[in-house]
Amino acid sequence: MPPAPQYDTVDFAKLRRGRRGKHHELTQGILNDLAVLPKGKAMKIPLASVNGVSIVNLRAAIIRATSSQNLRINTYTDGESIFIWKEDTK
């Protein structure tokens, strides 16, 4: 007879499979704005407005969020703001 399981089990169907990192609300707001961003325009997000999130962590969170939605973007920073725009798909 096999030993009793050491850990509980749960139905896989009940598990949330998406990532909900600590920057989730921030990235959701950015995704919402990107959805209505006109072609040829870039969003400007002042780094002072993101509650101390570093540019590296902010950019990584944005890239993860947009990649999961198959949204291709570009970013640029001038040290005070991060600029985000949708990549032109040809």
Mind listing the pLDDT tens digit for each residue in 37-67? 999 999 999 999 988 889 999 999 899 889 9
Compute the mean pLDDT over every residue in the chain, rounded to the nearest whole number. Answer: 87
The predicted model gives 5-10 an average pLDDT of 86
What is residue 89's predicted lDDT score, i.e. its pLDDT? 66
Positive or negative CA dihedral for 75, 76, 82, 84? negative
Given a contact cutoff of 8 angstroms between Cβ atoms, the answer to whether 83 and 75 are in contact is yes
The predicted model gives 12-19 an average pLDDT of 69
Fold for 21-86, please state it.
Ribosomal Protein S8; Chain: A, domain 1 (3.30.1370)
What is residue 72's predicted lDDT score, i.e. its pLDDT? 93
pLDDT at 80 over 90: yes
